[in-house]
Structure 1
Amino acid sequence: MNKSQKVIIAIVTVLVILIGGMTRYVSSSSNHLKQVVSKGYLPIKNDYKGKNSKTSESFLIMGLDNTIERKLGTTRTDSLMVVTINHKTKKITFCSLPRDSFVKIDADKYHGMQRVEVAYTYDGPTASVNTVQKLLNIPIDHYYVFNFLSFVKIIDAIGGVDINVKHDFVGVTKDGSGGIVFKKGKQHVNGLKALSYARERHSDNDIMRGYRQQEIIQAVEKKLKSPQTITKIPGIVDAIDHNIQTNINSNELDKLIKNAPEYANYKKQRITFDWRTFSNQGRSMIELYPDSISNVSHQLRVSLGLSNADYRDKAQYQFHTNGNYLFQSDYTVQDKFDEDSESTSINGNNYVGINGNTKTGPLPTTKTKNGFVTK
């Protein structure tokens, strides 16, 4: 493979922390990428108190629902994904976190319960990283925030991607209005349609949206391995210019570039939550079942080499929640039948919470110039 190809894997690694198969790179393109990434560099205060592994690393990838073009009144993380890479076991693990998950927010400005999507609104990536770390009891070494504009531009820059739509539905545009029609089956989509596909959740649920996001990531990876993509490197790098935010510095970027070719042969693991929906003060929330959080936390810690594997990690094991839940619905959005129909529990539900534990503070409003919170 020629030297240009390593730039491709560098871009994939920085953008979505993914697997590639490229080897060498052209120094001029690498410098261009470093300059672009440096513009979005923003270190954070990491409050994780546990041990970090020397043979693995973790990433929190977030997608914003705001851009300078959309001019929304505030900014939230429309999608969140935890990715771990274990260089000893040669495994990459993906875990999507539903944006409506009702969790304890860890921010300077707020420490109560809210949807996880608003952690970023309170205190930017610092709050998002620390909230996810405490929820899952894992360290987050790196974070990467992208906005819708960069997503659309990247997909368009590589000439679109191929997806396999599981059922018909009408998706939203990047502005949230209008509709984009999807028909069941395999198809090629541009950036705008890929974004709509990755954001869709109303035709099924947030867990399936996580699957679609991972499908898009894998489609991007496949497209970037194509030799024809080499000529599109400048456009790919330009697509993320001024559209990213990360704590990956120049030295860490060099390390990612150096190690990236090995990721092509790493095993992939996908982890999901068991969850239920509930209504709270006129808003729909997702409760991640406590035992599901514990199970996901265990799997992620094993993936990072921080905990030992046990019976839960055997190939034949399948987790199912016991159905114990903490948050009582007020049924202001959906009735009991509709909420129960969206639960992933096969064992029924049993309320074990306490009164008043659904109390929340006011939703934050943070004005930004370009959609990114820079605290």
Structure 2
Amino acid sequence: MYRTEIRRKKKRRRKNLLLTSLFLVIFCTIGYGSYLTFKLVNATDNSVEQLKRGDKSNLREEKIDVGEDNFSVLFIGVDAREGDKVSRSDALILATFNKKDKSVKMVSIPRDSYVEIPDRGMDKINHAHAFGGVDLAVQSVENLFGVPVDHYVRLDFRAFIEIVDALGGVEVDVPKTFSVQDSQDREDAITLQEGVHELDGEEALAFVRMRKQDPTGDIGRGERQKQVIKAIIEKGTSLSSITRYGKVIDGLEKNIQMDLTFREIAALHDYAGSIDDIESLQLTGYNSNNGTFYYMLDEGSVETISGKLRSHLEIDTQNSSTASNDTSNGDQTASE
């Protein structure tokens, strides 16, 4: 009886120790999660900036609810240097989200695409941001596809570097060996070897910015941008990255601007399972250089992608309203 009681007490102590350890793990996880939520809410609040048009696209009859409706987001990548008063967009990616099947479609717009910029005439689409900031960039994309841009995220490439580094790098497939300048404009400072590699922030930025050595030019560049975005999402949603989220949020807070609230960002979690099935749409066209380099978009390609995006958003083409071209234009101009 005595030995049996001792064994029971030892089992109870082991069980209590196990429960205590489990409780501490859960407590620490919840505590860290609450800390991260607090940081994210603050970062989101500090980064929110509404468009001059308000919270509804001029191509919408009613305001869109990210948690309940189909919607679109324009991702704008800029390379704003310290002291710059204006900056051109270096990347424009429009993504549409379908609530019913939790699917995502994504199209990258070549930066030199020759398009109509509202109240500015025909020019490179990357000049829209320099002429009129995010507002004019959004209007130009809406004007190109006839598709509402419900929300935007403007990300400086400094944040891109910090996010990738905070995640411990991302894995990408480099199509060919090449050397390019780094973020400090030092020529051939970064060399990437052909094949699958884990890239740090500087290397990932070089990977998405390289254009002249790619035979497909801006089209290949856009595909590489989407490849890295997907890699960041996959790495960011992995369990091993949880302890890195604090640094990721710090990197975002300093270099991001958007009109998505914390609640709207949280609603994007519903699409987490669609990461591996994002449909990548590709614009086609040809290069033109008559003293100034332009990418001439094929009208049929634009119409086809416009139709796919509208269908994905379940927009009735007969009842859509027309985009307003109102924008506040300063005296600043964009260089070629």
TM-score, structure 2 length as denominator? 0.78
Name which of 114, 117, 120 aligns with 1:111.
120
Distance 1:206 1:4 in 2: 46
Q: Are 2:228 and 1:216 aligned?
A: yes
Q: Are 2:201 and 1:194 aligned?
A: no
Q: Who is 1:120 aligned against?
A: 129
- State whether residues 4 and 230 of structure 1, in contact with CA within 8 Å, keep that contact through their aligned partners in structure 2: no
Provide the secondary structure at the position in 2 that maps to 1:26: helix
Distance 2:282 2:244 in 1: 34
Q: Who is 1:152 aligned against?
A: 161
Deviations 1:7-31 (A, max 9, x none): xxxxxxxxxxxxxxxxx99233122
Distance 2:77 2:147 in 1: 21
Change (3 A) 1:239 1:259: closer
Distance 2:58 2:288 in 1: 30
Q: More helix per residue: 1 or 2?
A: 2
Distance 1:259 1:276 in 2: 35
| Overall identity of the aligned pairs, in % | 26
The offset of 1:73, in angstroms, is 6.2
In structure 2, what residue type is equivalent to 1:37? T
The offset of 1:263, in angstroms, is 2.6
RMSD: 2.7
The offset of 1:119, in angstroms, is 0.7
- State whether residues 298 and 307 of structure 1, in contact with CA within 8 Å, keep that contact through their aligned partners in structure 2: no
Change (3 A) 1:258 1:27: farther
Q: Are 2:152 and 1:140 aligned?
A: no
Q: Are 2:92 and 1:80 aligned?
A: yes
The offset of 1:203, in angstroms, is 1.6
Deviations 1:158-193 (A, max 9, x none): 101111111122223123341221221111110000
The offset of 1:261, in angstroms, is 4.4
Distance 1:292 1:203 in 2: 25
Distance 2:220 2:111 in 1: 13
Name which of 110, 115, 120 aligns with 1:98.
110
Name which of 55, 70, 82 aligns with 1:56.
70
The offset of 1:229, in angstroms, is 1.0
Q: Are 2:73 and 1:66 aligned?
A: no
Residue correspondence of structure 1 range 300-315 to structure 2 within 5 A: 300-307=309-316
Deviations 1:96-149 (A, max 9, x none): 00111111112xxx4211111111111111100011001100001110001111
Q: Between Structure 1 and Structure 2, whose CA radius of gyration is higher?
A: 2
Q: Who is 1:241 aligned against?
A: 253
Name which of 213, 224, 228 aligns with 1:203.
213
TM-score, structure 1 length as denominator? 0.71
Q: Are 2:240 and 1:228 aligned?
A: yes
Provide the secondary structure at the position in 1 that maps to 2:206: helix
Distance 2:250 2:281 in 1: 32
Change (3 A) 1:363 1:255: closer
Alignment coverage as a number of residue pairs: 287
Deviations 1:29-83 (A, max 9, x none): 1221121122222111346235567631100001102132xx4463110000001
Distance 2:170 2:42 in 1: 27
Distance 2:85 2:312 in 1: 38
Distance 1:275 1:62 in 2: 21
Q: Who is 1:37 aligned against?
A: 44
In structure 2, what residue type is equivalent to 1:135? L
Distance 2:278 2:225 in 1: 15
Distance 2:332 2:297 in 1: 21
Provide the secondary structure at the position in 2 that maps to 1:178: coil
Provide the secondary structure at the position in 2 that maps to 1:156: helix
Distance 1:174 1:99 in 2: 19
Distance 1:93 1:174 in 2: 30
